[in-house]
Every structure is written in structure tokens, then in C-alpha cells.
Structure 1
């Protein structure tokens, strides 16, 4: 039983891959926050804290379903600190976000997933896929294109820190994406005893690296 987090830029195919994966394997998909619940009428720091708490909820769902299914797939990272690292945050500092997650880690209210899979594609290809998909508006599409290079650098760093932890795959077809997920999960490092160390090293990376 494996909890896998899929990441990548908008239109790379995460959600489609999740849906198809669940038709082929005993898998439960935990969608992004926006598909789980409607955001309340909050602003600023209160809204940011609400969003962080929803990541804890997403993890609780993943943990519970992991007892019942061979795979649980998180459509998007529960530890999305890299997003604030790339774009900055006017409401919560990096330290505030890191302290929130560190406390939850120590209380076993959240954990690192068993595996990460990062899908990527060329910018022209992502734009083409966006135009072909009329089911979603993708309002922040152009903004999210800016995250491709720094996100790739971050996940390469994480894979150097924990060899074999992140599967980085060029997303060309859904079938190949699914094959990559399954193959990647065949041999994964045991990260459970290193979670706090890995988390702190990641925060150090954010603090010392320009996105």
C-alpha cells in the first residue's frame, strides 16, 4: 500500500492520469483542495491558514484510504511550500508555513508521501493541451508556467537528498505516465525515520536557493 504524490505544471496531465490510473488499479485519488471543498469568505492570513489546514485534511483522507487500497494518489502536494518559495507570499512567511508543517509532522498529523512523481512537458506542448481541453478554465495557467524550472530544480534536489524518492518523467501519454508510476513504486527508499531531517533540509534549500 503506497501513498504517491503527483506534481507538475498545469495541463501536464496529472488529473487525467489519476482518473485513468484508478480504472486500472486498486487506487483511491485524493483531489486538490479546490475539488474537495469550497473556500470560505476569508482573506489574507486567515485564508492561508485555512488552506494549510485543508492539506492536513487531504493527508488524513490519504492515510485512511491507504488502509483499504493498494495505491492512494495525491493529486498535488500536501507540502506545497515550494509554491510560496517560487511565487512568494504576502500573508505567510516561509518560517510560519514551515513551523506549521513541522509541528504537524512531530504530532504525526501529516507525513511525507511514500513517493513523489513529477511530470513535465515543454511549454509549447502544455499550451497546446490547454487549448484542447475545454473542460477547465485554468485561470492561472501562464503564472504556473513560471514554476516549471524552479519546481524541477527542487525535486531534483529532493531526489539527490533521498535517492530514488522522486520519479521525474516527461509526460507524453497517459499510458506511459501510468507505467512510470507503477515502475517507480517498485523500489522506494524508506523515509519514515528521516522525515524530520528531510523536511528541515528542504526548508534549508528554500532559504538558501533563489527560485
Structure 2
């Protein structure tokens, strides 16, 4: 029983790769929040965070019946997204922040203690150059990818975050230079973690270290 997460910039191929893996294996894909749940103006400030916990619950429940479960996007995304957004928001009015970073951290720390959310057994961070991302975006007519150009600026700091996470938890993160869906699947296939060789899904030490790092690290 294994949970993995695919992450990377918009248009890098997360969803297509996840769907290809599901076709190849008895795997289950958990879509992103916006694909699973409807939003409204009355939603609380923690609504999006709570839905990430719901995604984690789906993953834990589904792993019993599948070879592995794929989180299409990180359930702890609000932590690193807000770190990046805060660093960019002074210059970009179109980039939206969540609540303050320490509030997000405290929310997920409590949920981690309750085992209501967790770290996947392995992240596969897909990355490529910005020109390739633009070509893929322009060639995909199935999604509008709102604010795509703005979110391209997230790509480098997002990679720095996952490189730091790899430093904190070396077995948990694999960086994948994406050239095609086939090569993505091949790399993931040979790097799937064994169910009896997992790292701690509920490590407060890692969460604390990543929060401390984000607090001390500015975008350059």
C-alpha cells in the first residue's frame, strides 16, 4: 500500500502522467481540490486546507484496494504556495495569497498530529524549461490554465522547496526531468517505493523544518 504525489509547474504533465500510470497499473488518481469540490463565496478561510485533508482521506482509503494511489498535486501545497505567493505578491497584483504562512503551518501541524493529512510515501517532482511548458500549454486545448504566465514564476522557487524537502527527507523526493509522458512513467515505475520501506507519513520534524526553512528563505 503506497501513496505517491506528482508535483511540478502548470502544464508539466502531472495529470496526463497520472492517468497513464492508472492505465498501466491498478492505481487510483486523486484529482486536485478544484476538480473535486465546488467553491462558494461563503466558504471559510480554511475551506481549501480542509479539502486537502479530504483528498488525503480519499488516498488512504483507496490504497487498500489498489497497487498505489496517486495524489495529482501535493496535499500540503498551501504551505509552499503561500511562501512563493508572498514573495511575489508585492510586484504582482494578480497573485493571490492564502492566510499568513504561520497560520497555514499551525493548521497542518494539528492535522498531521491527528493523522488527518500526511506526507506521501514519495514525491515525484516533474520539471522542465519554461519554453517547453508554454508549448505544452498551447498544445492542450482541454484546460484554460488561468494565470498561466504568472504561475510560471512559481516554477523555480517551487523546485527549490522540493530540493530542500529532499535534503530533509532524501528517500521521499525524486526530481524527474520530464521529456515525455512515457519517460515520466518509466522513471516513476522504477522508483516506486516499496510498501515495507516507507518513510514516516506523519513526521512533525519534517514539517517543522520546512516551515522554518520557508520562514528564513526569501525569493531571489
TM interval, shorter chain, is over 0.9
- Kindly indicate whether residue 130 of structure 2 is the aligned counterpart of residue 123 of structure 1: yes
- Unaligned residue ranges in structure 1 (runs of 5+): none
What is the CA-CA distance between 1:34 and the residue it aligns to?
Answer: 0.9
Question: Aligned partners of 1:208 and 1:79: how far apart in 2?
Answer: 19
Question: Aligned partners of 2:13 and 2:102: how far apart in 1?
Answer: 32
In the comparison of the two structures, how many residue pairs are matched? 208
Indicate the RMSD between aligned Cα atoms, in angstroms. Answer: 1.6
Question: Aligned partners of 1:179 and 1:19: how far apart in 2?
Answer: 14
**1:77-96 correspondence to structure 2 within 5 Å:** 77-80=74-77, 81-88=79-86, 90-96=97-103
Aligned counterpart for 2:168 among listed residues 155, 161, 166 = 161
Look up the match of 2:204.
196
Aligned counterpart for 2:115 among listed residues 101, 104, 108 = 108
TM-score normalized by the length of structure 2: 0.90
**Does the 8 Å contact 2:2/2:193 carry over to 1?**
no
- Kindly indicate whether residue 47 of structure 2 is the aligned counterpart of residue 50 of structure 1: yes
Look up the match of 1:16.
16
Question: Aligned partners of 1:158 and 1:91: how far apart in 2?
Answer: 21
What is the CA-CA distance between 1:138 and the residue it aligns to?
Answer: 0.5
Question: Aligned partners of 1:187 and 1:170: how far apart in 2?
Answer: 22
What is the CA-CA distance between 1:194 and the residue it aligns to?
Answer: 6.7
Question: Aligned partners of 1:111 and 1:91: how far apart in 2?
Answer: 20
In the TM superposition, what whole-angstrom CA distance separates every residue of 1:60-108 from its partner, at most 9, and x where no partner exists?
A: 0000001111110000010011000000265511111000000011111
